[in-house]
Structure 1
């Protein structure tokens, strides 16, 4: 059976990127601590490539990113969907994820309405 991946694409205002990075670093540690196999947060570097006329949406279009935003692509790898559900339940029960903790620092450094999220079952899975 292949692995399971939770994937995210979102736009983060450039002036809030450092705050996002801090939250992401803390979240990554929690997911790994509770059993995730891998946790990756990546900022856009080549998000509007030349597709030589082939029509496709870009990540900035998907995330409705403006000129003052950075596109972030993130994923968390699990053994299976069941494993994902177990790990996510543990993370959500962890005191480090309490809503009060986030309220102390103010609002989240991104607009959740411009975030895409989903769980994906792998159909091809190679490792080097």
Structure 2
């Protein structure tokens, strides 16, 4: 079973190229230790929320953009074995000053419990993180129903991950990002689209679709954080 590490990172507009250079340098090292793909996406449509949002999740400062990214591994054991090696590998050291504040980056490990679509090259991504108190089968059923609509409207792939290793952070973390309560699990997922216009058209008609209206709620939308992103690094589709 595959395993996903998910990340949300605040990066200043002026440091975008430095961040991309760092990520491009790191991706082959991840692959050497077993990662199957690395994807980095730059914030394009990241709305403010009333209670939670992706900017507050990482305490974004003025001029900072949100990066939504993930690394796929063949399984959790491979990811865990790579962690210590990556920390010790000199190639992972930045060439200069870090292009983001690592203390405000949030990350976690997720088991993909639902994946739909054929995949392929994509030009836009919707990312979401949310707290759920539903059991796993109920969440998967919800994901399947919603994905039916997205795929019908042009999405190329939908992935939903169930939190299995979501650590507490000193400054920020995924649990605080969605105000997770005792007994709740954090989910991390995304939808891949060929382009932003296809995505915008799909969302415009979403609530008119009977499959969407019939889907039972699986998480608290008031605390979910989400946004639209443009991929800047995709090792599967260079």
Structure 2-normalised TM-score? Answer: 0.45
Determine which of 100, 106, 110 is the counterpart of 1:110: 100
Structure 1: which 5+ residue stretches go unaligned? none
Q: What's the Cα RMSD here?
A: 2.2
Task: Give the length in aligned residue pairs.
Answer: 118
Distance of 1:125 and 1:71 partners within structure 2: 24
Task: Name the structure 1 match of 2:77.
Answer: 82
Matched residue of 1:24: which SS?
helix
Give unmatched runs, 5+ long, in structure 2. Answer: 119-238
User: What is the alpha-carbon distance in structure 1 between the residues aligned to residue 113 and residue 43 of structure 2?
Assistant: 25
**SS of the residue 1:18 aligns to:** helix
**Contact in 2 for aligned 1:4/1:122 (Cα 8 Å):** yes
With a CA cutoff of 8 Å and minimum separation of 6, indicate the structure with the bigger relative contact order. 1
Q: 2:67 aligns with which of 63, 68, 72?
A: 72
Distance 1:123 1:20, change over 3 A: same
Q: Match of 1:36?
A: 35
Residue matched to 1:24: 23
Post-superposition offset of 1:40: 0.7
- Match of 2:113, SS state, is coil
- 1:92 Cα shift? 3.2
Higher strand share: 2
1:122 to 108, 112, 119: 112
- Structure 1 residues 56 and 29: alpha-carbon distance in aligned structure 2, compared to 1, 3 A threshold: farther
Greater CA radius of gyration, 1 or 2?
2
| Deviation per residue, 1:59-113 (Å, 9 max, x gap) | 112122233011011110111110111233443343312xxx43x52x3111122
**Cα distance between partner residues in 2 of 1:110 and 1:116:** 12
Query: Which structure has greater helix proportion?
Result: 1
